[in-house]
Amino acid sequence: MKSITINGSKRESVGKVATKALRNAGRVPCVLYGGGEPLHFSAPELGFSKLVYTPNAHTVVIKLEDGSKINAILQDIQFHPVSDKILHVDFYQLFDNKEISMDIPVRLQGAAPGVLNSGGVLRLNKRKLRVRALPGDLPDVIIADISKLRLGNKLYTSELPAEKYSILHPDNTVVCQVRTSRTSVADTGDDEDSDDSSTAAEGKAPAAAAEANAEN
> Where do the structural domains in the chain lie, given as residue ranges?
3-94, 101-179
- pLDDT score of 190: 53
Low-confidence ranges of the chain (pLDDT < 70): 184, 186-216
Rounded CA gap, 173 and 200, in Å? 41
- pLDDT score of 35: 83
Name which CATH class applies to 3-94.
Answer: mainly beta
Domain 101-179, CATH: 2.170.120.20
Taking the model in full, what pTM does it have?
0.77
Write out pLDDT tens, residues 137-172: 999 999 999 999 999 999 999 999 888 999 999 999
